[in-house]
Structure 1
Amino acid sequence: MRNRLGKYVSSINTLNVEERALYCNTLILAEEGAGKTNLACRIRNYVIDSNVATLYLDFSNSEEHEIEIRYKDENFNYIRFDESDEFQAEFDALVSQNKHIYMAVDPNYFSNKRDITSKLTFTLQHKGLLANYYYFFHDIENLNGFYTKFEDFLLYMLNFLNLKKYGLTFLAQPHSSFENPQLKLLFTFLYLGKCSNLEYFNTANLKKLPKNRFFYQYRTNYHTLLFNDIKSNIVQIDEYLFKE
C-alpha cells in the first residue's frame, strides 16, 4: 500500500498516512507550485489502495490535456461538468460502476442565491457518491469571492459531513481571506473540530516554506472531556512521479 507521504524534518521518523485519513478531513494550504497537487496525489493513491472510490473536483475547469501526468494512471476517468442530460448519463454510469472520477468544474455553475440549490450541488449529493466516494476539492483561486458569492456551496459544505461516509481533502492557496476570523472558525469546524485558538495556522508562515514542505497539524485521538489537542510538525513530502 502506498502509505508513505514523506518524513518529519525534526527527526528521522517516516510520515505515513493512516486509516483515519479516510474518515477525517484534510485541508491543504500552500502557494502555487508549493506541492499541493503532489500531496493530494499521494493521499489519492492511499485512498485508491484502500479500495475507496475517489471524486477529484478540479475547479480550475481544466482541459484534459492540461492535467498533470501523475493523475493519468489506470484509475483516471476525465469528465467535464455541465447541466446536460448527456453529462448526467455519463456521470451516473461512472458512479454506478464505482469508477474513480476526475471532474473539471466551472464554479459558476453554483447558485449565487441562498434559496436556490444548483444542479451542480445536486450532482455532488448523488447518493452513490455520498455512500462510496472520497472527495477532493481542488484549486478554487479566488477564495474570498467564492465564499461570499456561492452561498449555495457554503450551505452545502456545512451539512456535507453529516451526509457522506468518508472524509474529503480540500486544497487551496493561503489567501488572505483565511486570516478572517469567521472563515477560520468555519474551517476549524469542518476540518479539525472546534478549536479555541484561532491562530492555529498563520498564512504568512505557510508562504515561506519551500516546495513539498508543509506545516502538518492533526487532532489527537485521545478521548477527553474537552476537545483533543492539535499536534504540529514540519514535514517534507516525497515527490510522486508517474510515468505512462
Structure 2
Amino acid sequence: MRNKIGKYDNKINALELKDRMLCLNTLILAEQGSGKTNLACKIRNFAIDSNVPTFYMDFSNSFEENIELRYKDSYFNYIQFSESEEFDKQLAELIKEKKHIYMAVSPEYFSNKKDERSKLSKTIANTDLLQNYYYFFHDIENLNGFYTKFEDFLLYMLGLMNMQKYGFTFLAQPHSIFENQNIKLLFSFLYLGRCSNLNYFNTSILKTLDKNRFYYQARTDSPTLLFNKIESNLVTVDEYIPDE
C-alpha cells in the first residue's frame, strides 16, 4: 500500500497516511507550484489502495486533454458538470459502479441568490457520494465569493463541520485572501475543530516554504471527552512518479 508519502522535519519516522484519513476532512491549501497536486495524488493513491472511491472536483473546469497525465491512470473517469439529464445519467452510472470520478465544473453554477441552493450544491451533497466517496475540491478561485456567489457552497462546508469529521491540514504559500484572519479561523474550525497554534496564522512563514514542503497539522485520535490535541510539524512530501 502506498501509505508512506514523505518525512517530518523533526521525527525519525516517515509521514504516513492512515485509515482514519479516509473518514476525516483534509485541507490542502497552497498556491500554484507549491506541490498541492503532488500531495493530492499521494492521498488519492492511498484511497485507491484502500478500495475507497474518490470524487475529484476541479473548479477550474479543465478540459480532459488539459488534465495532468499523472491523474490519467486506469481509475480515471472524466465528467464535466452541466445542468442536464445526460449529465445526471452519467454521474448516476459512475456512482452505481463506485467508479473514481474526476468532475470538471465551473463555480458559476453555484447560486448567487440568498436562500437558494444550486443544483451543483445539491449534486455534491448526494447521499451516496457523501457516505461512500472520498472528496477532493481543487482550485476554488475568487475566494472573496464565499460571502456572495458561493453562499450555498459555504453552507455546504458548514454542513461538513456539523458532521465533526475533523482531521488534517497541509498548508503552504497560501492565497493572499487567507491573510484575513477571520477566513483562517473559519477553515481552522472546519478542518481541525478548534483554533490551532499561531503558526497557522503566520502567512510570512508559510510563503517561504519550498515546493512539496507543508506546515502539517493533525488532530490526535486518542479517546477523550474533550477536544483532542492538535499536533503540528513541517513535512516534506515525496515527489509522485507514476508507473510507466
Normalization by structure 1: what TM-score? 0.91
Residues 135-156 of structure 1: CA deviation (Å, up to 9, x unaligned): 0001112222345421011111
Partner of 1:98: 98
Residues 186-215 of structure 1: CA deviation (Å, up to 9, x unaligned): 212210012275653422221111111111
Give the AA of the match of 1:42.
K
Partner of 2:155: 155
Stretches of structure 1 lacking an aligned partner (at least 5 in a row) = none
User: Which segment is superposed worse, 177-186 or 156-165?
Assistant: 156-165
SS of residue matched to 1:44: helix
Change in 2 beyond 3 A, CA 1:179/1:61? same
Give the AA of the match of 2:50.
S
Q: How does 1:126-205 map to 2 (within 5 A)?
A: 126-162=126-162, 174-195=174-195, 200-205=200-205
Give the AA of the match of 1:142.
N
The whole-number CA distance in structure 2 between the counterparts of 1:7 and 1:192 is 21
Q: For the Cα contact (< 8 Å) 1:195–1:227, is it kept in 2?
A: no
Q: Does 1:67 align with 2:63?
A: no
Q: For the Cα contact (< 8 Å) 1:185–1:198, is it kept in 2?
A: no
Partner of 1:108: 108
Q: Please report the RMSD computed on the Cα atoms of aligned residues, expressed in angstroms.
A: 2.5
Stretches of structure 2 lacking an aligned partner (at least 5 in a row) = none
SS of residue matched to 1:200: helix
Partner of 1:211: 211
User: Which segment is superposed worse, 133-142 or 226-235?
Assistant: 226-235
The whole-number CA distance in structure 1 between the counterparts of 2:16 and 2:170 is 19
Stretches (4+) displaced over 6 A: 163-173
Normalization by structure 2: what TM-score? 0.91
Change in 2 beyond 3 A, CA 1:98/1:41? same
Change in 2 beyond 3 A, CA 1:127/1:199? same
The whole-number CA distance in structure 1 between the counterparts of 2:193 and 2:139 is 23
The whole-number CA distance in structure 1 between the counterparts of 2:115 and 2:97 is 33
Partner of 1:18: 18
Give the AA of the match of 2:191.
Y
User: Which segment is superposed worse, 213-222 or 162-171?
Assistant: 162-171
Change in 2 beyond 3 A, CA 1:166/1:191? closer
The whole-number CA distance in structure 2 between the counterparts of 1:37 and 1:19 is 21
Deviation at 1:233, TM superposition (A): 1.2
User: Which segment is superposed worse, 197-206 or 113-122?
Assistant: 197-206
Q: For the Cα contact (< 8 Å) 2:167–2:191, is it kept in 1?
A: no
Corresponding pairs, count: 244
Give the AA of the match of 2:106.
D
Deviation at 1:18, TM superposition (A): 0.8
The whole-number CA distance in structure 2 between the counterparts of 1:214 and 1:101 is 27
Partner of 1:119: 119
Change in 2 beyond 3 A, CA 1:235/1:197? closer
The whole-number CA distance in structure 1 between the counterparts of 2:21 and 2:87 is 31
The whole-number CA distance in structure 2 between the counterparts of 1:87 and 1:213 is 38
Change in 2 beyond 3 A, CA 1:167/1:197? closer
Change in 2 beyond 3 A, CA 1:79/1:180? same
SS of residue matched to 2:46: helix
Change in 2 beyond 3 A, CA 1:180/1:17? same
The whole-number CA distance in structure 2 between the counterparts of 1:166 and 1:228 is 10
Deviation at 1:23, TM superposition (A): 1.5
